[in-house]
């Protein structure tokens, strides 16, 4: 379970910060400002506080297996939404916000 938990955290970390090195390319390609791109990494810090309490409740009440399963389902949903980047950059913002929930 510990290895699974560590792998989940590594996966979430990669999904969280993957757009940071590409900010100049994204700014040029999609015509968004730097603050919007910075929001992608800031969203985790902003959403962590309100989502910490429900996730702690789920972990305490239902256990690590249920908590990880719910978190990875939400994470996968967020990644799928981010795959729609070719249609609009705002799908990335919505997907990143969903990723921050888990």
Question: Residue 16 pLDDT > 90, yes or no?
Answer: no
- Taking every pair of C-alpha atoms in the chain, what is the biggest distance, in angstroms? 46
Mean pLDDT of the chain: 86
pTM of the predicted structure, to 2 decimals: 0.78
pLDDT score recorded for residue 97: 84
Long-range contacts of 16-22 (CB under 8 A, 24+ apart): 16/41, 16/44, 16/96, 16/99, 16/100, 17/41, 19/92, 19/96
pLDDT tens sequence across 17-63: 888 788 888 888 888 888 888 888 888 788 888 988 998 899 899 99
pLDDT tens sequence across 57-99: 998 999 988 988 898 899 889 889 988 988 988 888 888 888 8
């Amino acid at each position: 379970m510990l290895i699974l938990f560590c792998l989940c955290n590594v996966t979430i970390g990669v999904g969280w910060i993957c757009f940071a090195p590409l900010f100049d390319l994204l700014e040029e390609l999609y015509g968004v400002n730097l603050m919007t791109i910075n929001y992608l990494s800031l969203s985790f810090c902003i959403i962590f506080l309100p989502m910490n309490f429900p996730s702690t409740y789920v972990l305490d009440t239902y256990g690590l297996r249920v908590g990880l399963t719910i978190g990875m389902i939400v994470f996968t949903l967020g990644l799928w939404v981010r795959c729609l980047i070719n249609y609009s950059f705002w799908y990335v913002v919505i997907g990143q916000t969903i990723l921050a929930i888990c």
